């Protein structure tokens, strides 16, 4: 899991908590405040004050919900605009009730304003919401004091009411942020576990690759070295010389397989060519035709093995060509060589074709992707015939 996905998880949980707060705000405004407005219609003074403030709160709620849902509200501007409007509405509604008290059954704005402030201040520090709730309580208390209702019972009821209409909003905001932080920590923990697992897989893959390389070296060199040490092999024998050349080329290929180059296949073919050139063979390694795709080591070995076999027997000259398409790669080698001692057989990785014309030995290896493109053309490895029926070297090998 990347940093981007961790941020996505955190954002998803944050948006979910915000949507829950918006639903509660609008639901509270409709299910709790509206019945109080309708029931207390005739009790408000003036009569339309309750419904007027309710409509104004509804408009404010829709606006802040839209802004917050789109990622706004990160600056103090929204809170500075919305908070005074809410406090004015609270003062109007409380002052319009029969008892002019925040605990009056029709003082719905005193209990509802905190939900609107919660959404407006969702992305602001917690202390700003606490400051608004304190200002909301002071507004209600000021109206109560102006009405002369500061007796002990009224104050006690006011304190309880103020606590009740504040604790829910604070709990929702704190709980939403705690849930978001928990989601981020969980995502980070999962990312750390995934990173550790990937490192373990990579370590095992490196270990397995090293084990295979050691095994390849052992298979390539051990038998020949043992034969030379036991005097079972004659260095003057052509077959022995070709086996040694094949072994040297394989070792050279093995050494460069892990090099960080843009075209590993061409790099490995160059290493095989160098081994032949050191004994006087003129090798023409042509630039690839087309863009060679990224190939695994097993495929590159299958493509280069016939080249190694042919170059091991080349006397004076050889030509290597590479043709690549989006879904297949073909490597061909043409050399003045006798038949390869150990012809590379077709494998699950590549298809191998050998042929001869006079003293020229031609070998072609083709790798095809598992899902070839529908528009790809079939690559022919058969010999072309001239007008008189005699075989000619395929164009790809010339």
Q: What is the pLDDT of residues 292-324, one digit of tens each?
A: 988 888 899 899 999 998 998 898 999 999 999
pLDDT band of residue 183 (cuts 50, 70, 90) is confident
pLDDT band of residue 191 (cuts 50, 70, 90) is confident
Residues in the chain: 398
Residue 232 has pLDDT above 90, yes or no: no
Burial class (CB in 10 A: 0-12, 13-18, 19+), 280: exposed
Taking a C-beta distance cutoff of 8 angstroms, is the pair 380, 391 a contact? no
Tally DSSP H helices, then E strands, for the chain.
Answer: 11, 7
Domain with CATH 3.30.565.10 in the chain: 251-397
Average pLDDT of every residue of the chain: 83
Cα distances (angstroms) measured from residue 188 to each of 3, 192, 201, 227, 312: 8, 6, 20, 58, 55
pLDDT in tens, 9-54: 777 888 888 899 999 999 999 999 999 999 988 888 898 999 999 9
Nearest residue to 253 (alpha-carbon basis) of 208, 312, 304, 320: 304
Residue 121 has pLDDT above 60, yes or no: yes
The dotted CATH code for 251-397 is 3.30.565.10
Mean pLDDT over 230-252 rounds to: 77
pLDDT for res 386: 37
pLDDT in tens, 376-388: 333 333 333 333 3
Render 279-323 in DSSP notation, one character per residue: TT-EEEEPPPBSPPPP--HHHHHHHHHHHHHHHHH-SSEEEEEEE
**Element holding 24 (H helix, E strand):** helix 3-28
pLDDT for res 344: 60
Mean pLDDT over 355-360 rounds to: 86
| 203: number of Cβ within 10 Å | 10
């Amino acid at each position: 899991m990347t940093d981007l996905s961790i941020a996505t998880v955190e954002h998803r949980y944050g948006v979910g908590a915000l949507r829950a707060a918006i639903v509660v705000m609008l639901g509270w405004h409709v299910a709790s405040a509206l019945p109080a407005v309708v029931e207390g219609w005739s009790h408000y003074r003036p009569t339309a004050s309750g419904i007027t403030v309710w409509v104004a709160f509804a408009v404010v709620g829709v606006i802040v919900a839209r802004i917050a849902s789109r990622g706004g509200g990160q600056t103090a501007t929204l809170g500075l605009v919305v908070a005074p409007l809410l406090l004015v509405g609270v003062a109007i509604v409380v002052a319009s009730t029969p008892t002019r008290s925040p605990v009056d059954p029709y003082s719905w704005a005193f209990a509802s304003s905190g939900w609107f402030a919660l959404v407006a201040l969702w992305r602001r520090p917690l202390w700003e919401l606490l400051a608004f709730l304190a200002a909301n309580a002071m507004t209600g208390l000021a109206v109560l004091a102006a009405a002369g209702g500061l007796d002990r019972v009224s104050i006690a009821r006011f304190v309880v009411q103020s606590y009740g209409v504040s604790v829910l909003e604070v709990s929702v905001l704190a709980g939403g942020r705690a849930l978001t932080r928990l989601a981020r920590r969980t995502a980070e923990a999962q990312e750390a576990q995934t990173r550790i697992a990937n490192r373990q897989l990579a370590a095992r893959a490196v270990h397995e690759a090293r084990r295979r390389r050691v095994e390849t070296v052992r298979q390539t060199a051990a038998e020949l070295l043992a034969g030379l040490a036991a005097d079972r092999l004659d260095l003057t024998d052509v077959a022995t010389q070709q086996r040694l050349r094949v072994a040297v080329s394989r070792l050279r290929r093995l050494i460069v397989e892990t090099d960080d180059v843009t075209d590993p296949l061409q790099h490995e073919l160059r290493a095989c060519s160098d081994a032949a050139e050191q004994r006087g063979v003129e090798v023409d390694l042509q630039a690839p035709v087309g863009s060679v795709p990224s190939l695994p080591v097993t495929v590159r070995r299958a493509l280069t093995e016939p080249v190694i076999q042919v170059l091991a027997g080349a006397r004076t000259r050889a030509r290597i060509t590479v043709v690549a398409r989006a879904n297949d790669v073909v490597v061909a080698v043409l050399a003045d060589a006798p038949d390869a001692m150990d012809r590379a057989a077709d494998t699950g990785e590549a298809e191998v074709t050998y042929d001869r014309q006079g003293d020229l030995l031609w070998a072609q290896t083709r790798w095809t992707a598992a899902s070839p493109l529908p528009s790809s053309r079939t690559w022919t490895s058969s010999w072309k015939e001239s007008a008189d029926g005699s075989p000619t070297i395929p164009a790809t090998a010339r």
